[in-house]
Homo-oligomer: A and B are copies of this chain.
């Protein structure tokens, strides 16, 4: 409810968190904004402004206590409690996302993965069974899941999202290449990998010089 930080800051929070996790695992206890700057690529001033936005976490003349800063960031992002999520769409991408989060993301807990194709249902990812779509509402409601990732074909994405929202999902990470319509208070992050790749291609250097030097 009191959540209203600028998007630009929110985007950077998980990056700080990752760097801090690294520092802490190497038993670094204090870190300066300049070191964080080197690790993240953001400017030191920006980093200080970001932290200061949520209150002052550092000690002048010294820096930031890594453990303390981490605990603050976890609280701010909302990762201080395990977050449950469901995955809809058990194609290769859905499976990859599910397994990755089960193994590597300690902050989340995959409550279920669902697929419209009954042939997929029953096969397993780690210890998690892929379940038919009809089981989805019960899982979301019983476990009060708020977050969903969807990796279904573009054609079915809107219908899936409608169902998710009807059952109580409020935040969606969308891998389907389509614009979703949702009520105002529901958050959608688009992670369209084709768009990412295409906008990257804009920056490709064609480099005639190099071609010339090849044929030396």
Contacts and interface: CB of A to CB of B under 8 A. Distances in A.
Contacts of A85: 197
Contacts of A95: 92, 96
Given A3-B203, A93-B96, A170-B207, A149 B197 contact: yes
A101 B76 CA distance: 37
A108 interface: yes
* This protein's copies in its complex: 2
Nearest to A96: B92
Contact of A187 (B189, B203, B210): B203
Interface in A2-46: 3, 5, 10-11, 13-15, 17-18, 39-41
Given A105-B194, A170-B205, A177-B18, A10 B92 contact: no
A99 to B, nearest CB: 6
